[in-house]
Structure 1
Amino acid sequence: MAVGPGAALGGTAAVTAAFPYRLSEVSAPRIGLIVLQADETIEVDFRRLIPPGVELLVSRVPSGAEVTSETLAEMAGHLTAAAALFPGSVNFAAVGYACTSGTAQIGAAEVARLVRAGTTTAAVTDPVTALIASCRALGLGRLALLSPYVAPVSERLRDTLAAAGIDTPAFGSFDVAEEARVVRIDGPSIIGAAETVAARAPVDGLFLSCTNLRTLDVIPALEDRLGIPVLSSNLVLAWHLLRLAGVPIPDAPPSRLIDQTARKSLRT
């Protein structure tokens, strides 16, 4: 026999009054991350880089299965909608757009404008802006650059860095366009290619480009072998987001970026 609202069960009247409750205060800083639809790596890395006291909220933006100048530019038309998928009641300390080459193609200022049109945040960053901030924090001006992508995509990034006063005299690429292949490039392949690129010219740092490239675990080995800071898209983006939020980054996994900036909580 069905029992409806207000009916008695076993001779006892059903309780219809709502329970009282209190609302908790939100004290933890909140960081937003807009991830490419095709990216399989950055959320895994951010679980290791973002400390427990920070709330991380993630949205996705449509992206092509292949990375070309055209597919990167098309993301601009979806960024505001992706940012608008964050809960409307949230005031973020910082929001990051997680695409290095997309930022170089669209422009960091335009990325920030599009993100702010969809959500409320005190700051917006991206891997390119974060890389420039990291280089300034470490005093780097000449980078070896390893990218998974085809030449036209990589050239736009190099031009953007040059405009910020960062030279990339040594460059190498896996020349891959498909994101499903980029995410499967293994650690030994990255280490071997990075060592070759870094030996091509005098440099004071190495940058491993692409949020979908699995780089986090190769950074300590490369820094030991090369004796220079090794930066990656995901490392610098997490570092900059936490810095903007006023939160020290954890010291694991180890890197010179974290060690040499002393985990300061400066909003820069």
Structure 2
Amino acid sequence: MWQPDGWDVRVRLGILTPHGDVGPESELRAMVPADVGLHAARVPFGAIRRGGVMDDTIPLAPVRAFAEPPDVDEATGVLADAPVAAIAFAFTSSSYVIGPRGEADMVARLGERAHGLPVVATCAAAVEALRVLGAGRIALVDPPWFDAELSGLGRRYYEDCGLDVVHSGPCGLPSDQTRIEPAALHDWVVAHVPDAAEAVVIGGNGFRAVGVIEALETALGLPVLTANQVVLWGTLRAAGAPLDDILGYGRLFAHP
């Protein structure tokens, strides 16, 4: 008699996302079953304008500022007042800039604002996922709007975590979120991942990527991690929610 109305869920997750970016919510919603609730708080990001428009490359200053008080702290506190079980920090590049230690400090600070709820950062979740998968050598593929300096900071982030980065850099696709197509991303990654890699990590929560995970894993024979995939995996784990009903988005979800 009654139509689904979105109220009957087994877990609700919070998402911290740049104010003009629809990527994290779009990809997370695509991956989760209908009985996982997603609730976003939008955090001001100085490099994105009305309509989600960005320059061809994003400058480092607003990337760093995104992770600093007061905006993200206030958004976290407000979001944590909702009945969410854990909060995802869905932003890759600030972790690149502040590094693993700065990211850990940020997560601890936000956890206090979240009244003790777990807060999961994207890059930390990627490192944990690589450890679970037993992959120590990675090919790091960043969005085309990450310049060489920002992508280099990403390489340093993973190296500081003890990983061997055998390839890193922005991918050669149009620097426009709305022009990224799954087929083009798939073909570029297949052509550029070296044989030495044990896993592929695709950075950038605003980078359209989860739709190619399964196809890339089939083509390369390697686990493929993307920003929104790993932050979902980490946040569901932190919430104590099951993972094995997420299908088609990588072998990672077979590792609770």
TM-score, with normalisation over the residues of structure 2?
A: 0.82
Quote the residue 1:234 is aligned against.
228
Q: Secondary structure at the match of 2:206?
A: coil
Equivalent of residue 153 in structure 2, options 156, 171, 176: 156
Equivalent residue for 1:54? 36
Q: Indicate the residue corresponding to 1:173 in structure 2.
A: 170
Mapped pair 1:142 → 2:137: yes
Contact 2:96–2:157, Cα closer than 8 Å, also in 1 = yes
Opposite residue 231 of structure 2, the aligned amino acid is L
Q: Which has the higher helix share?
A: 2
Q: Does structure 1 conserve the Cα–Cα contact (< 8 Å) formed by 2:15 and 2:38?
A: yes
* Structure 1: unaligned runs, 5 residues or longer: 1-25
In structure 2, stretches of 5+ residues that fail to align are 1-7, 49-53
Q: Determine the C-alpha separation between the residues in 1 that align with 2:164 and 2:20.
A: 29
Work out which of the two has the higher radius of gyration on C-alpha atoms and give 1 or 2. Answer: 1
Partners of 2:225 and 2:103 lie apart in 1 by: 19
Partner residue in 2 for 1:247: 241
Select the residue among 64, 74, 85 that pairs with 1:73. Answer: 64
- How far is the alpha carbon of 1:104 from its aligned partner? 2.2
Corresponding residue for residue 192 of structure 1: 187
> What is the CA deviation profile of residues 9-43 of structure 1, one whole-angstrom value per residue up to 9, with x for unaligned ones?
xxxxxxxxxxxxxxxxx994332110112322111
What is the distance in 2 between the residues matched to 1:210 and 1:87? 24
Provide the aligned C-alpha RMSD in A: 2.3
The structure-2 alpha-carbon separation of the partners of 1:167 and 1:46, relative to structure 1 and needing over 3 Å to count, comes to same
Q: Is the 8 A contact 1:92 1:120 kept in 2?
A: no
What is the TM-score normalised by the length of structure 1? 0.79
Q: 1:213: Cα distance to partner? A: 0.9
Residue 22 (structure 2) aligned to one of 40, 47, 59? 40
Contact 1:150 1:177 in 2 (8 A): no
Q: Distance in 2 between matches of 1:225 and 1:177?
A: 23
Name the SS for the 2:131 alignment partner. Answer: helix
Q: What is the aligned residue count?
A: 232
Q: Residue type matched to 1:95 in 2?
A: I
Q: Select which of 93, 105, 114 maps to 2:97.
A: 105
In structure 2, C-alpha distance between the alignment counterparts of 1:256 and 1:80, rounded to whole Å: 33
